[in-house]
Each structure stands twice: as C-alpha cells, then as structure tokens.
Structure 1
Amino acid sequence: VGCTKCPVLCSGLLLIISYPGVRPKKRKKNINLMAAMAALRPLHWPQLRPPGQRPATTPPAAAGATTWRRMAKATTSLAPGAPIPSLPKKKVLVPIGMGTEEMEAVILVDVLRRAGADVVVASVETGLEVVASSGTKLVADASIGACASEMFDLVALPGGMPGAARLRDCEILRKIMCKQVEDKRLYGAICAAPAVVLQPWGLLRSKHMTCHPAFMDKLPNFRVVKSNIQVSGELTTSRGPGTAFEFALTLVQQLFGSSVSEEIGGKLLLQSDNNLPRKQEFNTSEWVFHRIPRVLVPIASGSEEMEVVMVVDILRRAKVDVVVASVEKSTKIVASQNTKIIADKSISAAAESIYDLIILPGGVAGAERLHKSRVLRKLLKEQKSEGRVYGAMCSSPTVLQKQGLLTNEKVTAHPGVIGKLTGQVVEGAGVIIDGKLITSKGLGTVMDFSLAIVSKLFGHPRARSVAEGIVFEYTKN
C-alpha cells in the first residue's frame, strides 16, 4: 500500500501512524502495533518524527502526481540499502497417481521449479511412491490429504492412463480443484486429464479446450480445439508428452510473465530455428539386434530428471528393455530439480548383465557422480572396446572425455560445457550420431535424441509411431 503521506511501500499492510494531539492510549497502541509488525518482518522503517514536530505536508499538485517511481526514490533516500521485501513464491500443485504419464509430470515440475515456483508433487495413492505409466518410479513430496487446506496459485494435472482415472477418483483432489475454479485461480490439464478428469467434474463449462487425440471424442465437439495449447480464462489445456514443454512454459508465462517464460525457454534449448538440422549422422553404422535391445541408464543424485524420464519413457514405448541403475548407495536419488526417482537396481547389480546401449543423462552434479563410479567406468570401457553403442546427453559427454572414450568421434553437448570438449565438436544440430556413439545437447533435444535411438534400433516407422503417440513432430533428418 502506498500513500502520499509516507514514502514507505508496505507489502500489503496499512499502518496508521499517530501524530501529536492523538490521545495517549491510541498513540501507544499504534506504536506497539508498528513494533509488533516490524518484529514479524524485517522491514526498515524510516525514523519516526520527534514529538512536537509538525508533519511535513505535500502540496496538492504534487500529491496528485505521486508515482511509484517517485515513491521508490523517496524510500531509498530514507533507508539506504534497505532490502526490498521478497514476494511469496507462487505455489503449484502437481498431483500424481499410479499410471501417471511421467514425462508430463516431471517436465511440468522441472520447468516450473526452474522459473521459481514452489511446486508440491502430491500422491493420490496411500503411499508416496508411484509407478508411472512407463514404469518409472517417482516419489511424491506429500500426500494429497496434506494439501487439502493449502491454497495454490496453480493446480496442473498430468495425463497418462490409468493415472488420469486415479486422479479423477480422488475426492480430496476433486474438492481442491473445484475450489480452485470457484476462486478463479489458474488450473491446467494435459493429455487425457481434460477429458478423463475435468469433464466428469464439470470444470470445462463455457471453456474451450484440447487434449490427447485419442480422447478428443470425450469432449464437447463445439468447444474442442485441435491445437497444442489452448488457454481459456484460468484454464490451460494441452495434448501430450510432446507438447509438455510448451504447456509448462505457458503456465510459467501466466504465473511470472513473458520475460521469465522466454528466459526459461532459452535455457531449455528448445529448437526454434527450423533451418538448423535436429539430427546429424556421420560414419553411418547399423545398430541391428536379433532380440529385444537392452539399454542401461545410470543415474545419480543431481542427474537431470527430465532427461532420465524422457529417454526411459520413449525407449520403453518402443519396446526396449531399459534398466535404470543408481550409482549411489541407495536406489533412491534426488535429481537436479529435487524430483525423487527410484532406480530399478544398483549399478553393481546392473553390472552383472551386458547391454546393447549405455546412455548417460546430464545434470552437472549428476554427471560428476557418474564419473566417480568405478563400476560404471568399467562398464563404459568394455562397451567401447567391444564395439557396442554408448551415448551421453547434456553435460555427460565430458564424462566420456575424462574417461578417454572420445577420440576422433564427432560429438555435441550442452552449450555450458561444450567448450570443455577437445574433440570434433558439432554445434549446429541438437543430436549427433557418429558410428556407435550418440550425443545430444540435452533438455529440449532429448525427445529427438530418444527417437533417433528408436530409429537406429527399429527403423523410421516405429520411431514415427512412438512420436505420434506422444504428439511430437518427428522428422527423419
């Protein structure tokens, strides 16, 4: 609250300062009120006027012309160096259940946390551990019951089946969502969730919406829009995993503004220049196996969760046997944006098998921990010496370099670490394949990276089929 009598900006509090002539009891009470409020919040108040001094007056013309800029200057002059009270973080709820689409949930959480939101992942199940639609094991931050009395700036529902049905059948979540709509606060849903959750709850009235193509017939025909993103008042809907980045960034824009959304979008390395190739291949080599390919994805605390979840989900959709192995003492790791993931087994147990492909996810802290794993180092060395396929995303190509696994191969990596690579670096495309090595810049390029692997293993038709299922634009080149 600002006023022409006082240059202090009072973060939502209206303070009444008594002047001489006010009854002593009132004066004492008001000063005590100021002291109590100052104790609650470390604001720097201007020194009170000594008793007997007449209050300064503002000429009428100046009073009418007072602006926020002038008030800010006045505050600075009265309290030099005074910290500006920080605004409370935007609170976001992302509920999950058995069968939730892991890419949608994790991309939502990761992107919103990068933007500065306080995101709570809440389980609608009896426990916090949830097995997502493609088998990734996630651990929620809280139960949905613990969130019942909380107020959120945004509630965003991931899709996936039967995950969306599990959300629909949760009465606590239904009440939270209905209150969200009643209070005209932001809410969103992606993939199956608009049709399976919001429609039965009656929360799509007078709204235009979109959803996954497989569920379009469940929505009112005259209000369905065939677009990746549809914003209708407080409601935002989207189509599937392949549009999850766009969905998350739209929500960031609504919460924090366009500048923050654009900044986060740039950091995610999303392909914006259609003139650049999304994938380049050198020294073409066949990746053909006469059985179901077996892939190892090692993870560590600090690994980039979006990269882990995307590559695992897409490869499993293509019917690849994927093993997620932790290099930590526990199979449970905390990823770079605080998503909790439970691996299928430890790296020591995973080392008992041979893999057709080993893929290292990124994340600076996670990559360093992968590098320190002696078991993984041995596996990677054997992988290259035996002529089997291996790859890395984001910051993890530096792990391959440190271990002497990059010689004359052409590679790419995250722009933040690409300068550390001494080999033949290719910076144009998001994904680079050189013989039995595949690397990518990470983050927004991981879907292309994963589909490139599917294409090498099974051919373009299967890669295109997987891409259609996640509503992602697939190109051969």
Structure 2
Amino acid sequence: MPGSARLRDCEVLQKITSRQAEEKRLYGAICAAPAVTLLPWGLLKRKQTTCHPAFIDKISSFRAVKTNTQVSGELTTSRGPGTSFEFAICLVEQLFGEPVAREIGERLLMNPTGDDPKRQEFNEVGWSLDRTPQVLIPIANGSEEIEVVTLIDILRRAKVNVVVASVEKSAQVLASSGTKIVADKLINATSDSIFDLIILPGGTAGAERLHKSKILKKLLKEQESAGRIFGAICSSPAVLQKQGLIKDRKATAHPAVLDKLKDGVNDAQVVIDGKLITSQGLATAIQFSLAIVSKLFGHARARSVAEGLVYQYPRS
C-alpha cells in the first residue's frame, strides 16, 4: 500500500502512464496499485479490473472482477504477490505471443495443471522453536532474484528474523537477471553466529559462488553437525550434495541438476527430510517459503501469510 501511494504521487509516472493509455499501448498494475494508483489517475474508466482483495471495494462493483489476472483492452491487472507469475506471463503473451509465454512458463517451472503443489515429507520431526527463528539467506552474484526476494519477503511476513549475507566483497550483488540486491551484511560478519535455519537460493552461477565461500561452507557444516535446519532451492541442493550434507536424505532440485543428487525426488515441488528442506526453484519459491513457515509455526500462520499474498495455500 505505501508503495502504491508513492507511485500515485509521482507526477512523472502519472504522465507516462496516462500517455501510454491515451496511445492505446499496454499498461498494467498489480496488488493495491490498480485501486490506489491507477484509479485516482482515471485510468480504470470502462475497464474490467481486479486487484488485491483488501482494495477491491474501491473499484466500481460493475467493473470489479475477482479473477487472478484480468485483461481489459490495453490494461492488465492482477491481485497480488501470489498471482505475480500469472500476471507476468500474461504480459509476455500480449507482447510476444502464446508460444513464448508457454516457453517462459515452462522455464519458470510453473504448474500448468493448476493442481495443488506437491510436498513430500520423510522422517518427520518438529521444527517449532520457543523464540523468534533466526534465518540466514546467503546471496552471491548470479543468485536467482525471484527466489531470494520471495524467501526474504515471506519469512519476514511470518515474523522471522532474516539475515541476508553477501558472500561477495560487496554487500550489493548482481542477481541472475541483472537485478541489484543489497545484503544486510557480508558473510564474514556472520561467521560466529548461530542460525536456526540456513537457506541457499539458487541460480546456476550464484550457487557455484555460494559453494566457493569458505565461511558459508563452515556455517553449513556446523549447521548439519548440530542438527539444526538447513536447505536449498533450485541449483543449490547440488551445493549441499557436493559438500556432503545431504547424506542419505531425500531431496529435490531444479530438473537441470536433479541427477546430481544421490537420492533425488522428481515428482514433488518441495521435499522435507528431517531438518533438510529442498525445492525445485523459481515458481516453487512461494510454496517452498510457506512450507518453511508451516514447519516453524504451523499451518495457521502459513495460511494467513498465503492469504495476504493472494496465494492458495495447499490443502494439507
């Protein structure tokens, strides 16, 4: 909401977007922005529109719809973080056509059937703590930004204390698609810290740079030896495998690296084995993050976070 309000108050952006609409070129908004930003600018007139459920009542009931993504002429709107993949693919389809959109969806590992994301758990143990969980998310140049941001956002929404640490010489890293992300600190500042959970984001180049970090390797070894929780998504489960941390546990990973795992599971988006959690990547990042929340706090909190995201929490 604050972000949408600040966008609304930007006169330059208003002029650009209004010109876009006047010239019948594509424009769009997601979450609160359709109601908070585009509506005051007069850019929803005669348009079927969706937005976050908390703001849908601001839109005329005659024009408001509750679909995840809505295309109305040049305008595309969507409901929230949990529908952002669908929103983005919809825009790609309008720009480049259905074949390209389908290809991108496959690369993102989007679920084409719409079935509940599949989660498998082996050797079930409790993860609940009597304190605020302390979580380390290490990042590197080449880390997958979708996974990094999704993990940080969802865990912080769930009231987890998340520390983002760069394994590079700078706190700022250049993620796999060119996004600049600034970590909270450098990895060497965490070398003597104890975390309840360490989670490695993916990205092929980023995973390799995480693997080369001596401090992170030390932290992961101590994490596993102490029986604390750790995990990875996308390419990074292969890092855990190379460092001898998966052992005889079940795990999954991005299909491109799944064969590098000793006992990889290929028919689940999230796999939990004791205190190890792994996931396939990209479009499974929300489910992965919510699985962590549910293990730490229970299904009720995970479902509450999912509702705020406008993401359908899997039936348990």
Gaps of 5+ in 1: 1-160
Equivalence for 1:204: 44
Cα distance in 2 for residues equivalent to 1:176 and 1:241: 24
> For 1:428-467, what per-residue CA distance to the aligned partner results, in whole angstroms no more than 9, with x for missing partners?
0100000000000011111110000000000000000000
- One of 180, 200, 207 as aligned partner of 1:367: 207
SS in 1 for 2:54: helix
Post-superposition offset of 1:288:
1.4
Post-superposition offset of 1:475:
1.5
Does 1:353 find its partner at 2:193? yes
Equivalence for 2:60: 220
TM-score of the two chains, using structure 2 as the length reference: 0.98
Equivalence for 1:443: 282
Equivalence for 1:469: 308
For the 8 Å contact 2:70–2:77, the answer to whether it is kept is yes
> For 1:239-286, what per-residue CA distance to the aligned partner results, in whole angstroms no more than 9, with x for missing partners?
000000000000000000000000000111112345675101000011
SS in 2 for 1:466: helix
Instruction: Give the letter for the 1:241 counterpart.
Output: P
For the 8 Å contact 1:299–1:370, the answer to whether it is kept is yes
> For 1:176-234, what per-residue CA distance to the aligned partner results, in whole angstroms no more than 9, with x for missing partners?
01111111100000000000000000011111100000001111111000110110000
**Relative contact order (C-alpha < 8 Å, sep 6+): which is higher?**
2
For the 8 Å contact 1:394–1:440, the answer to whether it is kept is yes
Instruction: Give the letter for the 1:474 counterpart.
Output: Y
- One of 18, 27, 31 as aligned partner of 1:191: 31
Does 1:292 find its partner at 2:115? no
Does 1:432 find its partner at 2:275? no
Residue correspondence of structure 1 range 123-142 to structure 2 within 5 A: none
Residue correspondence of structure 1 range 252-263 to structure 2 within 5 A: 252-263=92-103
Instruction: Give the letter for the 2:230 counterpart.
Output: Y
For the 8 Å contact 1:301–1:328, the answer to whether it is kept is yes
Report sequence identity in percent.
67
Instruction: Give the letter for the 2:86 counterpart.
Output: E
Equivalence for 1:460: 299
Post-superposition offset of 1:357:
0.2
TM-score of the two chains, using structure 1 as the length reference: 0.65
Post-superposition offset of 1:352:
2.9
SS in 2 for 1:223: coil
Post-superposition offset of 1:174:
0.6
For the 8 Å contact 1:276–1:428, the answer to whether it is kept is no
Does 1:342 find its partner at 2:182? yes
Residue correspondence of structure 1 range 46-195 to structure 2 within 5 A: 161-195=1-35
For the 8 Å contact 1:278–1:448, the answer to whether it is kept is no
Instruction: Give the letter for the 2:61 counterpart.
Output: N
Equivalence for 1:269: 109
Equivalence for 1:325: 165
Post-superposition offset of 1:424:
1.3
> For 1:12-51, what per-residue CA distance to the aligned partner results, in whole angstroms no more than 9, with x for missing partners?
xxxxxxxxxxxxxxxxxxxxxxxxxxxxxxxxxxxxxxxx
Runs of 4+ with >6 A deviation: none
Instruction: Give the letter for the 1:306 counterpart.
Output: I
- One of 76, 89, 100 as aligned partner of 1:249: 89
SS in 1 for 2:82: helix
Question: Which structure: larger Rg?
Answer: 1
Cα distance in 1 for residues equivalent to 2:231 and 2:48: 42
Q: Number of aligned pairs?
A: 316
Cα distance in 1 for residues equivalent to 2:114 and 2:51: 26
Cα distance in 2 for residues equivalent to 1:271 and 1:200: 35
Instruction: Give the letter for the 1:325 counterpart.
Output: A
For the 8 Å contact 1:269–1:443, the answer to whether it is kept is yes
> For 1:318-359, what per-residue CA distance to the aligned partner results, in whole angstroms no more than 9, with x for missing partners?
000000000000000000000000000000112232100000
Equivalence for 1:235: 75
Cα distance in 1 for residues equivalent to 2:37 and 2:114: 36
Instruction: Give the letter for the 2:303 counterpart.
Output: R
Cα distance in 2 for residues equivalent to 1:209 and 1:288: 41
Instruction: Give the letter for the 1:471 counterpart.
Output: V
> For 1:123-157, what per-residue CA distance to the aligned partner results, in whole angstroms no more than 9, with x for missing partners?
xxxxxxxxxxxxxxxxxxxxxxxxxxxxxxxxxxx
For the 8 Å contact 1:276–1:429, the answer to whether it is kept is no
- One of 95, 120, 124 as aligned partner of 1:280: 120
Equivalence for 1:128: none
Cα distance in 1 for residues equivalent to 2:209 and 2:136: 16
Equivalence for 1:406: 246
Equivalence for 1:111: none
